[in-house]
Amino acid sequence: MVSDLTAKERDLMQRIDEKEELRPLFFRKVKGLKWFDPLAERGYFSPDANPKPVPAKEEGYVNIPFWPVVDYLVKTAPELADEKNRKYAEKFLKVIVNATIYAKNNEVSNYRTWWQFAEIISKIPHNSIPVENIDIVDYWLDDKYERGLVAQVVGEKWLPELLQVSDAHALRLANRIIELLYKVIFIDRVYGEKVKQEASLRFDYYHAQKITELTAKLAGEKLGLEAIQIFDAFLRNILDQLKNDLWSSIWQPAIEDHEQNEYRNDAENVLIKAYRDSIDGCIRIIPDEASEYVKSMLLSEYQTIQRLAIHVIDRNYHLFSDVVDRLLDEKYLDSHYRHEMWHFLNRNYPYFSGQKKEKVLELISSITRHDDKDEYHEGASAYSKAIWLSAIKKHGDREANLYVESTEIAKTEPDHPDFSSYMSVGWGGVRSPKTLEELQALSINELVQQLEGYKNSGGFDEPGLGGLVKVFKQLVKSEPLNFYLNLSKFISLDFAYIYEIIEAYRDLWAEKGKFPWDEIWKKLLEFCSTVIAQDRFWNPESEKQREPFVANRYWIVSSIGRLIEAGTKSDEHAFNEKYLPYAEEILAYLLSREEGDEYKDDSDAVLISINSPRGHCLDALINLTLRSCRIADKTNNKDHSEVWSHFQRYYDSELDRADSENPEYEFSTLVTNYLPNFLYMSKPWVLENLNRIFDQKNYLKWLCAMQGYAYVGTIFQEVYKYLKEHGDLLKALDDENIRDKVEERAIQNIVVAYINDFESFEEDNSLINTLISRNENEEINHLVWFMWTLRKKGDDNLKNKIYELWPKILHNIDLSTREGRRMASQLCHWAVFVDQIDEDRRLLLLAIAPYSDESHNSYTLLESISEISETQPFEAHEIWMKMLEGSTPDYPEEAVRSVFNNLLKEGPEGLRKARMAESEYLKSGNDRPSLWLREIRQEYFPLE
């Protein structure tokens, strides 16, 4: 109950009634629901009290006054969350609604009031707000002076909160808010003598982008297809109104976020992002339903929506393998679809069947281009084929060879092949002062002379060195046999050209071109050795960062490392083993001279290590050592100990470097990243050095090692035992610097060890027991999910492990909290392991069933209930009824129908139980299951 005002407080009310000048201060200070009724009785909330804009001193401008009493409402609104204040929540809402309706009818504008109203309504319990009242937001967003403040509160704060609540009414409110926030208006813009119509949202694009980032994916997760359909409708409206669908590859070059999306702030671009992200969210929660919707998008009359579909299919290929045939159509090998189709092929071609791969190659081979006389143009046709072959060239010898053939005919490689047009940005150097044809006309000596004499202008958007070196690389690739015998003539050139020579031959090697590689590798290694032996190579000037696209020393060191790695990584495609000592000598020299990159406690150590010059050389050395070991295995009856003895000195030295006065951490990261390989090369060396590799005394070194280890997909018992006994895994879970990077892998280590009996609950230092006892939500959720991913039919060991963990996790869950209920929902994944309900399994399922929809796992549980009902229909029914106490999901439809069907097979008692479930759905206003039951009943009870 709200107490009445004291005599002193009533006196204060009398004073502000009499003196208007006291009111602003009073309303800024006063707080509490006890003031509401007295203020209302005195008319302070009267709709006509909301002040209108007043003219400013400067002509054409206005001042927007504050409505003082609204300060009181804003400060007091948090008290409305208490259920006992429900009647006041309704009163607050009435004030807001009445004031807005009055303003709308009388054309009153006051964005300051709307902004504060937005804050207030976001504090009113959502179940006190009828959906129709949300439309007042529409008027606020139409304010002619300012809309961003309202958009920020409603879109960035309130909407995410409603979506997270996840009950039906909150989601209906959220649905309507999304419709209002993304409402599109069309504006005529004057450009000189032309008028162009443009689409716009009603607030600035900063807030539009922010709202989309915070809510679009979440909306897809919570609202499902409803969210997608909202964005679909708005986008279609724009495409129809502006008639710009056929040019979407110009105004939206990439469906994903990309620097090429120059117009990313336009309404249509924002809506594409929202559409895309909502699909991502929807697919995560209801993949089957969402994937069917995406398939329907391919049939859209709009190319933009088809591109969206291709983008989604590309990134979720496992859900869409059945629609590949639809995409293998010549119409999609068109510039309008190029970006999405290029990446679709680039990422997913390896998973195609042989027949589908043949279809792709057939489509590409049929591409033709004609000149203005309609005559076939061999060069242009080959270039167009090379664009698409570049997407698949790394996925097979045949594809690589076809790509090489096309580029040889075209005499160039496609630059940015995934874009039909590419906008370069930066300071000059993008265009070349010389064309490829001009360089091809020169002899080697003339070419060297021209390159030596070139002076870079450095002017903005002028031809420059960055463009010239790229054309030079094309030249080397187009005539590799002409260059490798003359590499020594280029030794003294600018490092930018040297870098492109190495990269050109590395590209050709990767493409598996048919060249005299034995001779080429000899010359290449000699060239690299001579380059790095020059005094100028180690001069401090060589380290300086240059303009974009122009190499310095670091680029060359990395390039040499990548080149040697490419030549040793695969036994099937490796340079002659007689060159291994030369490559080793080059790497040893580089590693002795090149310093490591800078690492900090919060660095992504793996990212730095695999991209730094020193890291590239270490990658190469490791691959060269592995290659040498494999060769020895073939000739020495799988004994490569002598080879390891030769190389061990390098790795001992690298371990030392992390503890030196100027520590370097590339190897500390890569040694664990390559842990399976080092165990192959020398298991004794690894086990003897575990204390140096996972060295907790050197914190930064340990951070790097744990991050590298996070990428290892295999659990080795001896290594796991060491990490367990020394507390590394638990330490990683609690270390704020790396927890996000290694948490999932640490949990997976513990789980795999538990499944393989490296772990048990009985041990004093049991990590699985510790993990369960910690009861951290994210950790337990990942454990549950990971074990679910390991499921396979007939795996009784995994099933028994699940049954052992399940009650222990349940015991720790506090179902009175939202997080506890969400964890119970996560456990619904484990219902798939129940193929026979006994008393223990029954209690486990009954405990989690009411919470299945808390984290949208009702789909999974319904499928499991359906499976159980095949042999135990009444037991399945009991779980179903318990589930319906929490929510009444009816998807997947096949599962609901299956349970009904299996119940009705049991006769009248089964029908009675089916009607009980039907009744629960009807109570919630869902009659779809009732219709399904009626259909099924006709088969078993035709006379009823």
C-alpha of 472 from chain center:
37
What are the pLDDT digits (tens) for 181-221? 999 999 887 755 557 788 999 988 888 999 999 999 999 99
Looking up tokens 């990212």, which residue turns up? 607
Helix (H, G, I), strand (E, B) or coil at 237: helix
Is 50 exceeded by the pLDDT of residue 387?
A: yes
What are the pLDDT digits (tens) for 538-547? 999 999 988 7
d(CA 56, CA 62): 5
Q: Residue 312's pLDDT band (boundaries 50, 70, 90)?
A: very high
Query: Would you state the pLDDT for residue 224?
Result: 94
d(CA 436, CA 415): 13
d(CA 426, CA 843): 65
Closest CA to 846 of 819, 818, 880: 880
d(CA 744, CA 618): 27
Residue type, 123: K
Is 50 exceeded by the pLDDT of residue 278?
A: yes
What are the pLDDT digits (tens) for 700-757? 999 999 999 998 988 999 999 999 999 999 999 999 999 888 999 899 999 999 999 9
d(CA 480, CA 455): 26
Calculate mean pLDDT across residues 749-777: 92
Is 70 exceeded by the pLDDT of residue 338?
A: yes
Query: Would you state the pLDDT for residue 413?
Result: 81
d(CA 70, CA 121): 12
Query: Would you state the pLDDT for residue 191?
Result: 53
Query: Would you state the pLDDT for residue 188?
Result: 87
Is 50 exceeded by the pLDDT of residue 423?
A: no
d(CA 513, CA 291): 40
Q: What is the DSSP string of 315-358?
A: HTHHHHGGGHHHH-SGGGSSGGGHHHHHHHHHHHGGGS-HHHHH
Calculate mean pLDDT across residues 695-700: 96
Q: Residue 371's pLDDT band (boundaries 50, 70, 90)?
A: very low
Q: Residue 805's pLDDT band (boundaries 50, 70, 90)?
A: very high
Which is more confidently placed, 265 or 83? 83
Is 80 exceeded by the pLDDT of residue 422?
A: no
- Contact predicate 110/51, CB 8 Å: yes
Is 90 exceeded by the pLDDT of residue 249?
A: no
Closest CA to 403 of 415, 418, 388, 416: 388
What are the pLDDT digits (tens) for 779-796? 999 999 999 999 988 899
Give me the chain's average pLDDT, please.
90
* pLDDT more than 70, % of the chain: 95
- Burial label, 9 (beta-carbon count in 10 A; 0-12, 13-18, 19+): middle
Q: Residue 382's pLDDT band (boundaries 50, 70, 90)?
A: confident
Closest CA to 261 of 461, 463, 136, 423: 423
**Distant-in-sequence, close-in-space partners of 687: CB < 8 Å, separation ≥ 6:** 718, 719, 722
Residue type, 312: V
Instruction: Tell me how far CA of residue 219 lies from CA of 211, 213, 276, 600, in angstroms.
Output: 11, 11, 11, 37
Q: Residue 390's pLDDT band (boundaries 50, 70, 90)?
A: very high
Tokens of 380: 């242009």
d(CA 106, CA 2): 35
10 Å Cβ neighbour count for 530?
A: 13
Helix (H, G, I), strand (E, B) or coil at 55: strand
Query: Would you state the pLDDT for residue 482?
Result: 80
Q: Residue 845's pLDDT band (boundaries 50, 70, 90)?
A: very high
d(CA 62, CA 672): 66
Window from 112-126, 621-635, 928-942 with minimum mean pLDDT = 928-942
Helix (H, G, I), strand (E, B) or coil at 376: strand
Query: Would you state the pLDDT for residue 61?
Result: 79
User: Is the omega angle on the peptide bond into residue 47 within 30 degrees of 0, that is, cis?
Assistant: no
Q: Integer distance in angstroms from the first to the last C-alpha of the chain?
A: 56
* Phi, psi for 62 (deg, rounded to 5): -135, 160
- Contact predicate 612/597, CB 8 Å: yes
Is 90 exceeded by the pLDDT of residue 431?
A: no
Looking up tokens 């032996």, which residue turns up? 533
Q: Residue 497's pLDDT band (boundaries 50, 70, 90)?
A: very high
Q: Residue 433's pLDDT band (boundaries 50, 70, 90)?
A: confident
Query: Would you state the pLDDT for residue 425?
Result: 34
Is 60 exceeded by the pLDDT of residue 491?
A: yes
10 Å Cβ neighbour count for 298?
A: 18
Query: Would you state the pLDDT for residue 944?
Result: 54
d(CA 412, CA 379): 10
Is 80 exceeded by the pLDDT of residue 414?
A: no
What are the pLDDT digits (tens) for 452-485? 988 876 554 567 888 899 989 988 988 887 888 8
Which is more confidently placed, 741 or 660? 660
d(CA 345, CA 386): 13
What are the pLDDT digits (tens) for 85-128? 999 999 999 999 999 999 999 999 999 999 999 999 999 999 99
- Burial label, 525 (beta-carbon count in 10 A; 0-12, 13-18, 19+): buried
Query: Would you state the pLDDT for residue 426?
Result: 31
What are the pLDDT digits (tens) for 394-404? 999 999 999 99
d(CA 203, CA 153): 12
Residue 191 is inside which H or E element, if any?
Answer: strand 185-191
Window from 481-495, 656-670, 929-943 with minimum mean pLDDT = 929-943
d(CA 401, CA 511): 7
Q: What is the DSSP string of 712-757?
A: --S--HHHHHHHHHTTHHHHHHH-TTTHHHHHHHHHHHHHHHHHTT
C-alpha of 866 from chain center:
33
- Contact predicate 745/728, CB 8 Å: no
